[in-house]
Structures are given as C-alpha cells and as structure tokens.
Amino acid sequence: MTNATAEVVSTRSSRLLRAGVYGYFTALAGGLVLFCAGLSGYNVSVLAIAVGWAVGTAVARGSDRRGGWFYRTLAVGLTYLAVGAALSPALYTELQTPRPGLDLYVHGDMKGFKRAFAGKDAPIEPPPPPLSREERWTQAVISGVVLPWMAIPMDGLTHPWSGLSYVTALFVAGFRSRRGVR
C-alpha cells in the first residue's frame, strides 16, 4: 500500500507566513505563562529563557529551518514583546505606586524631604481628580504600547540577574531559529 500524501511546495511567502504565525502564537502562550507565573510575586525571569527557546523553535519550524537574519530577528522580536508584555502590568503598578517625599526631593525641598523620609510631618496629599477621557486614552496607549518595550530594560537595570536572564532568552531565541543542517 502506498502513502497518498502530497508533497507540499514551500515558497518564500508561505515560509514567512508560517514562521510568523507559529512564532506569534508561541510568543502569546509564553507571555501568558510568564504573566500568570509573575502573579505569584516571585521573580520568574528564568522562564523567559524557556519562552525564547519555544519562540525560536516555532519560528525555525515555520521557516522549514531555512534560518537567516530575518527569521532570527523575527524570533528575537517576538520573544522581546512576549516577555515585555508579561512584565508591563507589574511595571505599571510599580510606576503608579506613590512614594512619599519623592516630589519634595525632585522640587529641591530637602528639609521637607528629610521630614517626610523620617516620618515626621508627612504631607497629606488630596486624592487626585478623576482623569479625563484623553488622559485615560493616553495612559492606555502608554501602558499598552510603550511599557512592553520599556519593561525589559527597566527591570533588567533594577534586577541585574533578571536582565541577564532576559538577554539569555533573546540569545536563545535567535540561536534556535538559525539555519538548520539538512
């Protein structure tokens, strides 16, 4: 009995589309796993390496192991966005956390800053007024577009071992999507 499978022709555009789709959905799943694991409160930056490995492998499979600079860039970019998107909600809450006395320091009131830092005469701030529609839209754009790109460098600067994990994840994504041996 013969096998009736037809040979699939692999064109440049079909490889590009397959690599993009495989990589996108793998990055989406990996970012979701990172986000859910990050809800525990622990530093889960080592999981970023697994996301890089999975995305690089998915892009390589989608491209029929053709490799090249474009597929490597695609794998690294999708990994960067997956990890950055998973980190951005935590970064957003961190940026919104009030820090007493910081405004006094920024404006040069060192006496007020020292009093607030010591816990004496802490300024009581009135609640902020409700945001307008434009301000809410601006915050949504910043948290949805800008923060995923800023999350990895900001977290990497405050936690150097996490930064090393993120760099390793990007390297692994590019390495896994390299040209395969035929």
In a domain, 33, yes or no: yes
pLDDT in tens, 51-86: 999 999 999 999 988 888 999 999 999 999 999 988
In a domain, 4, yes or no: no
Task: Let me know how long the chain is.
Answer: 182
The beta strands (E) that lie in 39-146 are given as none
Residue 18: predicted pLDDT = 93
For residues 104 and 113, is the Cβ–Cβ distance under 8 A? yes
For residues 57 and 176, is the Cβ–Cβ distance under 8 A? yes
Among 16, 8, 156, 138, residue whose Cα is nearest residue 80:
156
Q: How many domains does the chain have?
A: 1
Tell me the mean pLDDT in the region 107-123.
60
In a domain, 7, yes or no: no
In a domain, 3, yes or no: no
Residue 178: predicted pLDDT = 84
Residue 66: predicted pLDDT = 87
pLDDT in tens, 30-59: 999 999 998 887 888 889 999 999 999 999
In a domain, 181, yes or no: no
Can you give the residue range of the structural domain that contains 89? Answer: 12-124+131-176
Using alpha carbons, list the distances in angstroms from residue 108 to 105, 111, 126: 5, 9, 21
In a domain, 120, yes or no: yes
- Residue 120: is its pLDDT beyond 70? no
DSSP 121: S
Tell me the mean pLDDT in the region 115-128.
60
In a domain, 161, yes or no: yes
In a domain, 110, yes or no: yes
